[in-house]
A = this chain, B = another copy of it.
Amino acid sequence: MEREEFLKVYRHSLSHILCKAMRELFGEEVQYAIGPQIDDGFYYDFKLPRTITNEDFKSIENKMREILKRKEDWTRKEVTREEALEIFKDQKYKLELIQDLPEGELITTYNTGDDFIDLCTGPHVENSQDLLNTAFQIKSTSGSYWRGDEKNDQLQRVYVYAFPDKQQLKDHLALVKEAMERDHKKLGPQLGLFMFHETAPGMPYWLPRGWKTFNALLDFWRGIHEEHGYMEISAPVINNQKIWATSGHWGHYKENMFIIPGEKEDESDYYAAKPMNCPNAIMVYKNELRSYRDLPFRISQVDVIHRKEKSGELNGLFRVQEFHQDDAHILVTEDQIASEIADIMSIAGEIYGTFGLTYVAELSTRPDDFMGDIEVWNKAEAELKEILDNQYGEGNYEINEGDGAFYGPKIDLKMRDALGREWQMGTIQLDFQLPLNFDMKYAAQDGSVKQPVMIHRAIFGSLERYIGILIENYKGAFPFWLSPYQVGVVPIKPEHNEYAKKVVSALKEAGVRVEVDYSEKNMNGKIKTFRSFKNPYTVVVGDKEAETETLSLTIRGQKQQLHDVPLQKFVEMCKTMNREHSKELITEA
């Protein structure tokens, strides 16, 4: 059995054991709904006579183990609809599930011992003793709704970690602990990077330190895009309803938009905060007559955008209602699609590579309800495949056949972080539709008037989300060039303040982000504070340093200090790390 299949059978079987345990602990009135496997185990939804708490976890786990030790046989049985309705007559959720099954077909049930039966297609283990070596642990409980609909009964969901053996569970728990320590929602406020407040749910407040990192990331992004011929604009945050009607957002995305009614009842007098940048980029394109000489026409922008989310779905910087997309819209001729996509892939490589993050690509191709010319689609898809073949080797990337949007094929870029977690990052989306909706044109070389193809693309996806990922990936210890403050300066005594000022100004002159503590606190207290913010370097200056124009350096992550570093040498080290966007700190002078 493959690991995946094995996990599925074991986890699914354990979910029946949990169900049986709950019935034995809480009685016949327990209503059991569904219990699928998930990434790290499974969950099961119950209607219980009382709310269960962390205190109950141990006794539930013990009961499960006790059941396993009974070494009961599992029996698969096929029954008619009528028999199933009779078997589950006291289980309202199972009855509903049975009603939904196709008429006339047999229904599968599984018995675990004589006294527990569940509705299930299987497969399962043959005897509970097969599960004796598995390792499981209740993770948490949460409220849920029958069929995920808040109009239905509220249930209690029990999440359980489940792995084939103790070592794997142990490894996983270590990973979970590590992830918790890296949790950006905890580290962000702790490091003074960002905060949230109920006055603006899901809309981050960038605190002074976080805003420095944000801007350092933005500068890096700008530099690369400038090199690749992008022109950055900034466009209105609020637009009239008419533009959203033309773009199709009013028809298909209205629920996610923050809408501002106008003076009149008429919807065309309404405004909305933009959820996407495309229409405004189009207004800029259309501001002048364009010719083939202007193409590829590359407009980038990082304006703030707003998208309504259900409050339960907000999640730190990962799922927000207000964010900055590192957006770009490129207008090309059909002949320029291939070279432009190749250029975007090269930008993506440059950017992700700087962070040492590996990424993979997925191609989504023409759906049945595609619009436009099939020849254009075929050519574009062939070109995208060729680019991906060259980059990853033929067949070494996923193709989601028929999964593209109706208006064009797309490439998704997914990244893996330090914990091996996968993140959807950039998207490169071809669009044959919007240029049509907005009647976009260019004067072709042959004198005719043609319609350009539009490419929407983002590399970070959202700067907020990307910074959230980076915080977790680096555990808050950003590379030098991204650190909010790169250097903290500690004068040992007030008489060293003057030399400290000289150090600060030499560093600032070189474009280094530096902070200094002139207070009367003792040296160790100052060093401790700067280290708590994960500043890459803490510079200590006392008599000797002032006299010789040197520095003593405390380096993040290093026990040893560096002494007698000439000031100018340190300035050069910092300049190098900024220029090269180094992943590692220089630890030798």
Contact = CB atoms under 8 A, between A and B. Distances in A.
A185 to B, nearest CB: 15
A259 B258 contact: no
A236 B203 contact: yes
A431 interface: no
Given A260-B258, A306-B237, A322-B238, A243 B199 contact: yes
A233 B237 CA distance: 19
Interface string A259-275: 11100000000010100
Given A200-B238, A259-B260, A208 B233 contact: yes
A207 interface: yes
Contacts of A322: 236-238
A366 to B, nearest CB: 32
A289 to B, nearest CB: 14
Interface string A189-200: 000000101111
A169 interface: no
A232 interface: yes
A208 B232 contact: yes
Interface in A233-268: 233-240, 242-243, 258-261
A560 interface: no
Nearest to A322: B236
A25 interface: no
A267 to B, nearest CB: 14
Contacts of A258: 238, 260, 271
A408 interface: no
* Identical copies of this chain, number: 2
Contacts of A235: 200, 205-206
Given A237-B306, A260-B258, A207 B243 contact: no
Nearest to A306: B238
A231 interface: yes
Contacts of A273: 237-238, 260, 273
A296 interface: no
Contacts of A195: 283-284, 287
Interface string A481-504: 000000000000000000000000
A279 interface: yes
A236 B283 contact: no
Determine the interface band of chain A, counting residues with CB < 8 A from chain B: 35 or more
A304 interface: yes
A411 to B, nearest CB: 26
A472 B296 CA distance: 33
A206 B261 CA distance: 26
A204 interface: yes
A258 B322 CA distance: 16
Interface in A549-589: none
Contacts of A519: 293
A240 B199 contact: yes
A211 B238 contact: no
Contacts of A198: 240
Nearest to A212: B232
A214 B304 CA distance: 16
A304 B261 CA distance: 20
A232 B207 CA distance: 8
A280 interface: yes
Contact of A207 (B206, B233, B260, B261): B233
Interface in A426-474: none
A258 B270 CA distance: 11
Nearest to A231: B208
A205 B236 contact: yes
Given A258-B260, A260-B258, A260-B260, A237 B199 contact: no
Given A195-B283, A199-B242, A208-B232, 10 more contacts: A199-B236, A199-B240, A200-B235, A200-B280, A203-B238, A205-B233, A205-B236, A205-B280, A237-B273, A258-B271
> Which 7 pairs, one residue from A and one from B, show the smallest C-beta to C-beta distance?
A200-B236, A203-B236, A208-B231, A206-B234, A199-B243, A199-B240, A199-B239
Interface of A: 195, 197-201, 203-208, 211, 214, 231-240, 242-243, 258-261, 271, 273, 279-280, 283-284, 287, 293, 304, 306, 322, 519
21 contacts: A197-B287, A199-B239, A199-B240, A199-B242, A200-B235, A203-B237, A205-B283, A206-B235, A207-B284, A207-B287, A208-B233, A211-B234, A236-B322, A237-B273, A237-B306, A238-B258, A238-B273, A258-B271, A259-B261, A260-B260, A261-B261
